Each structure stands twice: as C-alpha cells, then as structure tokens.
Amino acid sequence: MDKRITIALLLFLSVCCAKANTYSIKGKLISNKDIVDYASVILQKQDSSFVSGVTSDKNGQFIFENINNGDYKIVITSLGFDDKSINIKLLNNNIELGNISMESATHQLNEVVVSAAKVIRTSDKQVALPTKFQIKASTNGIDLLRAMQLSRLHINPIDNTISSSAQGEVQTRINGAKVDMQQIKALRPEEIQRIEYHDNPGMKYGQNVACVIDYITKRPVSGGTLSLESRHSPFDGWGEDQLSGSYNKGKSQIGVSVWQSYRNLHQWRDNTETFNYQDGSSFTRMENGQPDAFKMNYVYGNIYYNYKNGDKWYINTTLNLDYSKFKTNTSSTLFPINDRNNFVNMLDINSNNTTRPWLDIYFQRNFNKNSTLIFDVVGTYIQNDIQRNYTESKNTDIQTDINSTTKGNKHSIIAEAIYSIGLIKTGSLSFGLNGSQAYTSNDYTGTVNQTTNMHDGYARSFAEWKHNIGKFNYSFGAYFSYIWMLQGSNRLYQTEWYPKASMSYTINDKSYIKVSGERSYKTPSLGDISNVEQVIDSLQIRRGNPNLSVSHTWMTNLYYEWRNDIFNVNFNMNYQYQQNPVMEETLREGSKFIRTQQNQKSWQSLNPELGIEVGPLFKLFTFNVTTGINYFDSYGVTYHHYYTNWYYDVEAMMQYKNLTLLLKGKNHCNSFYGETMTSSESLMLAMARYKIKKVSLGLMIVNPFSSRQSYNLPTINYNSFAPSHQTMHIRESARLIALTLNWDISFGRKYDGGHKLRNNEDKDSGAVKSGK
C-alpha cells in the first residue's frame, strides 16, 4: 500500500478513537423543602452566549452533559420564583451543585398558571424552553409546540400536520433523529427539555428544507412508558388511534408504535368542463354529483432497538411499515349545458392499496461536542395496487367503459455519510456523501396494457461553512450531484451543482433579520416520465412524457422579527423562480384531449406574509394572526397565467390550570401551478380539553356554522382547449364532532438514550395517475 495512504488512514483512525475531555454539571432546585419542577435552566458563557438549555424534572433535578472546560453562567427562571444566576468554572472535573434554593417571588399569581415560553436566539436556531404550565396542560409533543407559538409555524389541529410560511419541507426530529408526526404525538410533554427550532437549517438536513423542529428530551436510564391516544366521532365515520411504548435497560432501548387512521365519509363532485375543438366548435358539459362513499384506512407501525455507549457512539435499527387503503366512489349525472335532459349516469370507482416496509440502520460516532461522524443505510420496498373502473351509461346501455389496473413494485436503497467538525471557536465545517439506487416495475392492464421498468438514482456530495462574528452570522455551501434515470431506450444522465448561502444579524435582544438564497434542482416524478397512457374518460387521456428533463429553482427569503415578553411581530418574504419547470400541457388529437407534462418556460411566486403573536395576556390568553398574499406567474410554451390570492389564519387559545380552549379559523390559501388553481381547506374549529393527572378528555367541533352541503374544495383549470371548474364536497367536513382521549403511564423511567441526527426514506412508487 502506498505510504501516504497508510499514514492518512492511521491519522483518520486516531481521530475516530480520540476521547474528548468533556464534563457534566448537575443540580437540584428547591424552595424551602419543596421541589421546583419544570424550571427553565440555561447554560451560558460569560459573554451571555447560549450553550445549552434544559428543564428541571419532576424531582427538581437538571443536568448538562458533554461540556468543555471554561467559565460559565447558569440562569434559572420559573414562574412564581425570582430569577437566579450562578457563575461556575469548569476545569477537568464534573460539577455537582447540590441543592439550589429558589426564592419565592413577591407578587401574587392569583391561581393563573400560564406563562410564555422563553425563546433564545442563537447563531443558527431558536431555543424555546417550555414553562411548567405549558407542560402540564399539554398531552403530547404537538400540543406543546402549539402552546409555545413559534413564529412562522402553523399546526392543523385536525390531522396534526405542521407547515411553515417558509418554502419547503418541515422536518420533525427527536434528539436529532428525523421522525414522523406519529412519533411526535407519542412524546410525553414532561420528557421534553426544550425545542430547538432551526429556522435557517444547514445543508446537512437535506435539500428543500424550510425548517427543522428538534425536540430535545430527557434521557432516562431504566423503566418504560406506555401511551394511548384516541380521537373518534360518535356520529360520523372518523377516527384515529395510537398506541406506543418503550422499555429501557442499561444502555439499550426497545420501542414500538402503532397508529391507525380511518375515514368512512360521503363525498361528491361538481364539475363544469368545456372542450374547444380544432374546427372551432365547442362542447360544455356539467357533472352533478350525488353523495357516495369515501373510505380510507391508514396503518403505520415501527419497532426499534438502539444501543448507546455513553456519548461516544450510538447505533439504531428501525423496522417500519406503512399500509394504506383508499377507495372513492363518485356518482354523478353528466349532461350538455344546453340540454340537461340528455344526460348519462357516470360512476367513477377508484381504489389504491399501498404497502411500504423499510429498514433503517444508523450509526453515529461523536468525537467531541463539535465533531460528529454519521452513517445511515435505508432499504425500502413499495408495493402498489391501483384499480379504476369508469362507466358512462344511458338507462341500461353502457356507452363508455374504462378499466385500469396498475400493480407496481419498487426496491430502493439509500446510503449516506456525513462528517461535521468545528474548525475554530466560532466556525464549523460540514461535508457529506450520499447516494441512492432504485428499481421500479409497473404492470398496467385493462383498457391499456403495458409494462414499464425504470432505474433511477443519484450520487451527491455537499460542503458547508458556518461562521459567526459577534452579532453577524453567515453560511455558504454547495451540493454536487450526479443523476440518472433510465427507462427503455430513454436515458437521462446529468451533473448538477446548487449553492446555498445565508446572512443574519441580531440587531438587539428584541429584533433579528435574515436573508438567504439557494439554487436547487427537481427531477421529474417517475410517473410523469413513464411512457404510459391512461384513459380518463370518453374525451380525455393522461399520457406520460419520457422526454422530460431536470428543472431548476432559484429561491430567496427575507425575514425580520421583533419580539418582547408579550408581542412577536414578524415579516416574511419568499420569492421563487423556476426555469423550465415540469408543468401540465393539454394537446388536441382529433376528438381527444391529451393531458400530459412538459418542460415549460418559467414559474414564479412572490409571497409577503405578516405574523402577529400576542400573549399571554393576563397570563391566560394567547392570540396569533397570520395574513399574506400569494402571487403566481405561470409561463408555459402555449400559455401565460397570473393569479393572486389573499389568505389569513387566526388562532386563539386559553390555558387555565388543567383546562385548554382553542379557537381557529382560516380561509382558502390557494396555489397555482401550470394552468391549475388548487385550494386548501377553509376551516373553523373549536376545541376544549381537560387534563386529570395522566388522563386528558376533550371535545372538538369542525366548521360548526357551515352547512354540510356547502363545504367545498375548488380546483380550476384555465387551459384554452379544455378548461374546467371542479368542486369536491365532503359532507362530514362540516359539523364534525369528535371526542378525544389521552392516557400516559410510566414505570421506573431513568434512561440516557442515544439519538440520531439523520433519517432517509423513499415514498415515490412511480405509478401514473389514472383518475381525474
């Protein structure tokens, strides 16, 4: 072996085996003989820069681990007590502070128990420390996040999804590990020390990430937990159930979680379609829908095992399973707009069954507080079974009969390695490699018979530098990717690079400003590049386009925030420009209209948004209002559309002792892409919940003042050949009443568990959409 290679390997191994000299600081908070639980405990350097933050547990104890030598200050705050500050010097030894006495505040609290979470702005994130009463009033991690009111985050209380005013994906993590919403819902609030809100996430979190919400939890050393959540409507077919538990022994932890969501509702569709033919003639028909079945059953489960050797290394293996089953029956009458009596009966039955198991093997090696090496391998299998039966009949005479079945299989593997190192005191470098290989096969039978085989993948690397100079912070980096997509004789090989940079300045302890920008690429979906046709109805066909190419996006964001103890005002401005985006195209071929995809000229969006958060008022009420404008410019080869939409989202919450009341209202926040306007839900919701020890009971009412006939989701297509105006109705989306139950138990819980910093998965099945 070459001598230089041998020396390099020895140096690398010596770094991997090096042991960092870090120590711990712990103590216990008391007031006279009483325990001070759930207090915010912050570790700072002597210049007041943030190092770490925890919450004292139910026994008043707290601990900071993996701390380097130096001069520090501990700041302790808790409602009902005076703030306390302790200066300490850490030098080659763990520090045991023993009992720390807290003095009662002189003012009276008059039984009111809600206070604002303490939010600390660091160089690359916000650190939010929950209060004692937010913890006691919440039932899970989602509830606690809603109570803490972090800027630019929006939580849908019906399906517990989280969205951001910034563009891109909202990642949720627990101790650095990327997790789904079911795992966040399984978190017990008293286990949460703090929430680290990365509103300017680094490149190590992946592409197109708007923000990262990382729950930092306490780490018991033994025992276990069991948690149950149930939400059901006593009058309608709507419900969700979750059961999760974990058990710890020594350095090991094993856990399991099962979540089920089901819907048995009534939906219908109204639609107006116009078809303009090449000879100048035109035909408009209307679809008048009748309520029919919408059924959905979704099951998610996982079982995991992890082993943690102190702060040195950590290994985790998780086996996950998704199973979903959807079925919709759409019954309508179709008739020409000028001859209502000349109608046909339309029946559109769609079903989609998907099974997706995947195995995730993760290894993490911590060299010191600023140096981490990560390996992650994920293997996924996706099985799809999609069926559609579409008929148009006059009396007993079937005039149109379309049947399609798609059975698909996909195998993929994703591998990744990331290394982060703090090169200087105020700067760090991250770099990594990852790659993916996927093989997809779809068999189409019925009206169309065809088989497709696709092979796609990528190899990617990145490097990013972060540095802070006083109140000024900046970062810059770049991804480099090699992409391949193969289907039959069609080949796509492409090399891409895309930079990312940001600058921020902390003006003072109340205000903050940030500007960021990045370039990214987007590959066509596997379904869009398939060379398959699917018949939609008697006049329309959906066709894949194997000649699609990669598109590019330039995005920039400006953000300003002003905050004090009661008010938070923030302004957010997003701008996107997509070059050659893959957007819809409608073609005329004889008497048929072909719906396909094509690389168009450009797409732009501008989104100014204002957010105002108030509270807690009288230590009882919190309010937040978000309002903004969506402006879109969609420029195709044969079309050019502009669209503007104003939206708002208002939420008010009251927390008093164990009672929580929530009111929420929002209008349609619409999007426009290609030639289609798609609306989101318009929503009004009222919710009440009361917590008794480990049990919480609640009542939720959705759209209480709307008629069950008036609730709608419109979709408008502005194509010049075949425009349409479609409205979906779901009867149970108005006046839906649901009862909620949460129950948590724990036994001997004392674990010091490890945590992941990365998670990868594959969700794209590659099938072509068959319905309208």
Distance CA 269, CA 267 (A): 7
Residue 123 predicted with pLDDT over 90: no
User: Are 620 and 114 in contact, with CB atoms under 8 Å apart?
Assistant: yes
Q: What is the pLDDT of residue 753?
A: 36
Residues 6+ apart with CB under 8 A from 195: 127, 128, 130, 144, 145, 148, 150, 213, 214, 215, 216
Strand 533-535 and strand 540-543: the pairing is antiparallel
Rounded to an integer, the average pLDDT of 18-47 is: 77
Say yes or no to pLDDT of 222 above 90: no
Section 459-488 average pLDDT: 88
Asked if 766 and 454 count as a contact pair (C-beta separation under 8 A), the reply is yes
Q: What percentage of the chain's residues is helix, strand, coil (to nearest 5)? A: 5, 65, 30
Greatest C-alpha distance within the chain: 91
Contact 132, 38 (CB under 8 A): yes
- Confidence band (pLDDT; 50, 70, 90) for 80? low
| Contact assessment for residue 274 and residue 254, using Cβ atoms and an 8 Å cutoff | no
Give the separation between CA 646 and CA 154, rounded to whole angstroms: 17
Q: Which helix (H) or strand (E) holds 13?
A: helix 3-16
Same fold across 22-106 and 223-747: no
Of 237-251, 289-303, 339-353, give the lowest mean pLDDT range. Answer: 237-251
Predicted confidence at residue 442, as pLDDT, reads: 87
Rounded distance, CA 397 to CA 407, Å? 30
- DSSP track, 328-341: EEEEEEEEETT-TT
Q: How confident is the model at residue 760 (pLDDT cuts 50, 70, 90)?
A: low
Closest by CA to 257, choosing from 311, 336, 186, is 186
Q: What is the pLDDT of residue 63?
A: 87
**Closest C-alpha among 228, 274, 309 to residue 752:** 309
Q: Which of 118, 114, 155 is nearest to 132 (CA)?
A: 114
Q: Which of 66-75, 114-123, 525-534, 625-634 has the highest mean pLDDT?
A: 625-634
Is residue 758 over pLDDT 50?
no
- Check pLDDT > 70 for residue 242: yes
Residue 161: partners with Cβ closer than 8 Å, 6 or more residues away: 155, 181
pLDDT of residue 357: 95
CA distances from 196 to 102, 125, 213, 366, 770 (A): 26, 7, 6, 20, 42
Q: By C-alpha distance, which of 249, 251, 247, 288 is closest to 270?
A: 288
pLDDT value at residue 584: 95
Token pair listed for 372: 């981490």
Distances (CA, A) of 129 to 97, 141, 601: 21, 13, 47
Q: Which comes out higher in pLDDT, residue 153 or 424?
A: 153
Asked if residues 613 and 634 have their Cβ atoms less than 8 Å apart, the reply is: no
pLDDT confidence of 666, banded at 50, 70, 90? very high
Tell me the C-alpha distance between 536 and 538, whole Å. Answer: 7
Confidence of residue 115 (pLDDT cuts 50, 70, 90): very low
Q: Which two tokens stand for residue 142?
A: 């989602």
Give the pLDDT confidence score for residue 150 in this predicted structure: 83
Q: What is the pLDDT of residue 124?
A: 72
Tokens representing 204 are: 């190590």
The bridge status of strand 209-217 relative to strand 169-174 is parallel
186-190, 307-311, 442-446: the lowest-pLDDT one: 307-311
The owner of tokens 């993929």 is: 412
- Asked if residues 508 and 481 have their Cβ atoms less than 8 Å apart, the reply is no
Which pLDDT score, from 0 to 100, does residue 127 have? 82
Structure tokens at 104: 């009662």
**409-416 mean pLDDT:** 90
Q: Is the peptide bond before 714 cis (omega within 30 degrees of 0)?
A: no
* Rounded CA separation 12/7 (Å): 9
Classified as helix, coil or strand, 83 is: coil
pLDDT over threshold 70, residue 568: yes
Summarize the confidence of residues 757-772 as an average pLDDT.
52
Q: What is the pLDDT of residue 17?
A: 43
Q: How far apart are the two ends of the chain, measured CA to CA in Å?
A: 62
Q: Find, among 456, 378, 464, the residue nearest to 205 by Cα.
A: 464
Rounded average pLDDT over 720-733: 93
Nearest to 50 by CA among 117, 161, 127: 127
Token representation of residue 389: 């039966």
264 closest CA partner among 651, 731, 601, 697: 731
- The three-class DSSP label of residue 737 is strand
User: Taking residues 80-93, what's their average pLDDT?
Assistant: 82
CATH superfamily, region 223-747: TonB-dependent receptor, beta-barrel domain (2.40.170.20)
DSSP string, 491-532: EEEEEEEEEEEEEEEE-SSSEEEEEEEEEEEEPPPTTTT---
pLDDT computed for residue 365 by the predictor:
84
| Of the listed ranges 73-87, 106-120, 545-559, the one predicted with least confidence | 106-120
Give the burial class of 152: count Cβ atoms within 10 A of its Cβ; 0-12 exposed, 13-18 middle, 19 or more buried. buried
Question: Which pLDDT tens digit goes with each residue over 713-724?
Answer: 899 999 999 999
**Which residues is 119 bridged to in the sheet?**
128
Would you place residue 757 in the very low, low, confident or very high pLDDT band (cuts 50, 70, 90)?
A: very low
User: Rounded CA gap, 281 and 207, in Å?
Assistant: 47
Q: Which residues pair with 614 in a beta bridge?
A: 567, 623
Q: With H, G, I as helix, E, B as strand and everything else as coil, classify residue 536.
A: coil
Sheet with 169-174, strands from edge to edge, namely: 118-121, 126-129, 192-198, 209-217, 169-174, 177-179
pLDDT of residue 491: 82
Using CA atoms, how far apart are residues 416 and 461, in angstroms rounded to an integer?
10
Rg (CA), the chain: 28
The pLDDT, as a whole number, for residue 135 is 79
Contacts of 243 (CB under 8 A, 6+ apart): 226, 227, 228, 257, 258, 259
Reply yes or no on whether the pLDDT at 4 is more than 80: no
Give the pLDDT band (50/70/90) at residue 48: low
Those residues with Cβ within 8 angstroms of residue 296's Cβ, 6 or more apart along the chain or in another chain: 261, 262, 263, 324, 325, 326, 327
Tell me the average pLDDT across 288-312: 87
Residue with tokens 């050659």: 580
Please give the structure tokens belonging to residue 31: 């007031």
pLDDT of residue 336: 93
Looking at residue 748, its pLDDT comes to 62
Q: Where are the domains of the chain?
A: 22-106, 223-747
Position 219 scores a pLDDT of 57
Most confident region among 24-38, 384-398, 573-587 by mean pLDDT? 573-587
Name the average pLDDT for the chain: 84
Which CATH architecture does the domain made up of 22-106 adopt? Answer: Sandwich (2.60)
- What's the pLDDT score for residue 10? 44
Full DSSP string of 355-382: EEEEEEEEEEEEEETTEEEEEEEEEEEE
What is the rounded distance in angstroms from the CA atom of residue 168 to the CA atom of residue 424?
31
Top-ranked range on mean pLDDT: pick from 71-85, 192-206, 597-611, 702-716:
597-611
Asked if residue 765 has pLDDT above 60, the reply is no
Do residues 735 and 312 make contact, with C-beta atoms less than 8 angstroms apart? no
Answer with the residue of higher pLDDT: 160 or 583.
583
Alpha carbons within 13 angstroms on the beta-carbon side of residue 524 total 34
**pLDDT tens profile 494-550:** 898 889 999 999 888 788 899 999 998 888 887 788 888 888 888 999 998 988 999
Task: Determine the Cα–Cα distance for residues 430 and 417; give it in Å rounded to an integer.
Answer: 11
For 298, residues 6+ apart whose C-beta sits below 8 A from its C-beta are 260, 261, 262, 322, 323, 324, 325
Q: Characterize 13-46 residue by residue with b for buried, 16 or more Cβ atoms within 10 angstroms of its Cβ, and e for exposed.
A: eeeeeeeeebbebebbbebeeebbbbbbbbbbee
User: With bands split at pLDDT 50, 70 and 90, how would you rate the model's confidence at 106?
Assistant: very low
pLDDT of 289 strictly over 80: yes
C-alpha closest to that of 381 among 431, 303, 312, 320: 320
pLDDT band at 79; cut points 50, 70, 90: low
**8 A C-beta contact, residue 462 and residue 431:** yes
Give the residue among 763, 745, 760 at the shortest CA–CA distance from 224: 745
